[in-house]
Amino acid sequence: MAGDRTLEGKVAIITGAGGGLGRCHALELARHGARVVVNDLAEDACAQVVEEIREGGGEAMAAAGSVTDEQAVAAMVAGAIDGWGRVDILVNNAGILRDKSFAKMDLADFRAVVDVHLMGAAICTKAVWAPMREQGHGRIVMTTSSSGLYGNFGQANYGAAKMALVGLMQTLAIEGAKYDIRVNCLAPTAATQMTGGVLPEEALARLDPAFVSPGIVHLVGSDAPSRAILCAGAGHFAAAHVTLTEGVQIGSADNAAAEVTRQWSAIVDRSGEIVPEYGFTQAEREVAAAQAGSGEALARAQ
pLDDT for the residue numbered 287: 95
Contact residues for 191 (Cβ-Cβ < 8 A; gap 6+)? 199, 203, 204, 205, 207, 208, 209
User: Rounded mean pLDDT of 68-87?
Assistant: 98
Q: Residue ranges of the alpha helices (H) in the chain?
A: 20-31, 43-55, 70-84, 107-114, 120-135, 146-150, 156-176, 201-206, 213-220, 256-262, 264-267, 281-301
pLDDT at 12 over 80: yes
Exposure class string for 182-194: b at 16+ Cβ within 10 A, else e: bbbbbbbbbbbeb
pLDDT band at 296 (very low <50, low <70, confident <90, very high): low
In this predicted structure, what is the pLDDT of residue 61? 98
- 36 with 62: CB under 8 angstroms? no
pLDDT of residue 86: 98
Is residue 266 left, alpha or beta, with left meaning phi > 0 and alpha meaning psi from -120 to 50? alpha
Three-class SS state of 219: helix
Q: Is 77 left (phi over 0), alpha (psi -120 to 50) or beta?
A: alpha
3-state SS class at 107 = helix
Share of the chain above pLDDT 70, in %: 93
Q: Which residues are catalytic?
A: 158
What pLDDT was estimated at residue 206?
Answer: 84
The answer to whether the beta carbons of residues 18 and 41 sit under 8 Å apart is yes
**Mean pLDDT value across residues 17-43:** 98
**Per-residue confidence at 1, pLDDT binned at 50, 70, 90?**
low
pLDDT at 201: 77
pLDDT digits 0-9 by tens, 199-242:
677 777 788 999 999 999 999 999 999 999 999 999 999 999 99
Q: Provide the pLDDT for residue 300.
A: 55
Question: Region 87-92: what's the mean pLDDT?
Answer: 98
Name every residue whose Cβ is closer than 8 Å to that of residue 202 and which is 6 or more positions away in sequence: none
Average pLDDT, the chain: 94
pLDDT for residue 4: 85
Segment 32-77, tens digit of pLDDT: 999 999 999 999 999 999 999 999 999 999 999 999 999 999 999 9
Contacts (Cβ under 8 Å, ≥6 apart) of 197: none
Query: pLDDT digits over 175-205, tens only?
Result: 999 999 999 999 999 876 655 566 677 777 7
pLDDT at position 3 is 64
Rounded to an integer, the average pLDDT of 89-101 is: 97
Query: How confident is residue 15, by pLDDT bands cut at 50, 70 and 90?
Result: very high
